[in-house]
Structure 1
């Protein structure tokens, strides 16, 4: 059975579409062969201007549905893929991951070759960004040529602040190589893909470090960071509780527009971290992708692949109060999708082949450590077959104890097939016990 939500039900997803006009031109004319004229990135009112493939991290080498979907997204049998290693601590460390397998994973070169890609590596990292991203250098011109011929550009995991350091100029403007990538993406010639930090960098801003509890504790007081800084909130010292629990934000790539993106989602209990970061950065929408899972976005259409799920978070109707010194939010809308589910962000049509859940005799799960691995997923899954209207969870940490409520509304719907679940219009409240 396929279920399509109508426009009234679309309120649960929100309107992602932003009318954005962006024109970027080179700061100066360079090599007439590489840049025969100043080309401009066209305006668009789509969620993305092209194709973005977001991998939540820790993707198993055997997750063929994910890697085959990435290959098919190009429309080619043996597409070229440029592997970006700039989230690594250095060029040498990134190259090791590209060429050498570790104890659990293949090398990037071998992995993508096995799935039918033609891989190459972009020799760009934070320790050579001036040379590696500049068209006037031999290495920069070589890297730009790799981007120009890539059907997919894949950003590795590690630390997204290193991606920003490698791809932006010191003043935050696009480097030559990033400008070329924007042109390729906007024209539909290149699919942008990324895993973990390579996913997080695709929104603007990007954010990171810390945990859900710390973001709640510090009430959305994230540190604004500049290019070249880490996302660590060290305003009270690098060994402080703030540095361990809180985080920061900085300029991101914005290949995904209008929403924050986050990875390792249920595996690291990040649902509250995302909601708090949305508030801190004035974003109404968020996308959280779990491990061994991917979300493919083609302008306004999105489809889920892989083992776990994707959270679509909507705060357009949420209320943020200040009755305590800690973070509070009510009426945040949650939508959860798993493999095979898709939706159109501009029209609000959600399509699933899963069956509508009508049973209501199960027990509701109420977590005593709600920010731990998969605890939020256990909570929302239990509501699907329970007569209870809410699952109330709490943080393991006390003084204060965070209170998390996942709640059914009149328009909440659950769909299930085996262990895979789809949920629309669930309410999330965050507060203090």
Structure 2
């Protein structure tokens, strides 16, 4: 990356984003990826219905004005070395990971030529987005699976290697809809990460260097465990509940921002202009 070149942005979506009407979250991805001049790649590795899902997103992105949309369906790790796919990603301004099973993304793409190239394009300014499973893979350590609507316990959540676009962070999606606060706290308690982002459906965080902006109809729950005053994690036996004291909790709706470097909300809310009819 050149000295004066800024890295790209991340758009991490909590799943179930609106696909009809205004499509606020997906519209934001298209806009930041270059608008009508964007070159968008749809990564379908997570889903078992790649053709159907890929075509659905293609129609949406084309309806929003982007003419150059391509689907990359990596079924095996060998596919991640395809010269055709590598050429397409090398020209992309926006790369979108669909939902499905996050383990499929890491098992097929992580540590391949395609993975290296996607990170290179991000460093060069491309926008990387993911919804649901595509959101889960963004950190260096991701939530693989876990129980929802439960109190924090060590066995509630299984962690695994993510794609490493947003290191030191834990992401959970479908957050308030599936009652995943306990799961997010359990994940944070097991990792060196001190910040967890729980992203509601039809809601995204836009990560632009050290500033995070919330976009969408729901909210983002931020859990900061950097300055906890007590935890019983080191002494827990199986099935015993966690105790976490002194954690910080922030809930931010559309237009609010968060300072990632200093770990605090930016309270001057951004008022988004109305989309043209």
Q: Which TM-score band (shorter chain)?
A: 0.7 to 0.9
* Correspondence for 1:281 among 191, 199, 210: 191
Whether the aligned pair in 2 keeps the contact of 1:215 and 1:247 (CA below 8 Å) is no
By percentage of residues, which structure has more helix?
A: 2
Q: Does 1:310 align with 2:247?
A: no
Aligned to 2:129: 193
- CA spacing shift, 1:261–1:63, aligned 2, 3 Å: farther
How far residue 294 of structure 1 moved from its aligned partner, in angstroms, is 1.1
1:67 aligns with 2:26: yes
Give the match for residue 145 of structure 2. 209
Structure 1 runs of 4+ aligned residues shifted over 4 Å read none
SS in structure 1 of the partner of residue 53 of structure 2: helix
Shift of 1:75: 4.2
- SS of the residue 2:99 aligns to: coil
Trace 1:34-433 onto structure 2 (pairs within 5 A): 49-61=7-19, 62-89=21-48, 93-99=49-55, 107-117=56-66, 118-125=68-75, 128-130=76-78, 132-134=79-81, 140-168=82-110, 174-188=111-125, 190-212=126-148, 216=152, 219-221=153-155, 246-318=156-228, 319-321=230-232, 322=235, 325-347=240-262, 348=264, 350-353=266-269
Q: Which one has a bigger Cα radius of gyration?
A: 1
| Contact 1:203/1:256, CA 8 A, preserved across alignment | yes
Deviation at 1:71, TM superposition (A): 1.9
For 2:215 and 2:154, how far apart are their aligned partners in 1?
A: 31
User: What is the Cα-based RMSD across aligned positions, in Å?
Assistant: 2.2
Offset at 1:53? 0.3
Distance in 2, Cα, partners of 1:315 & 1:212: 20
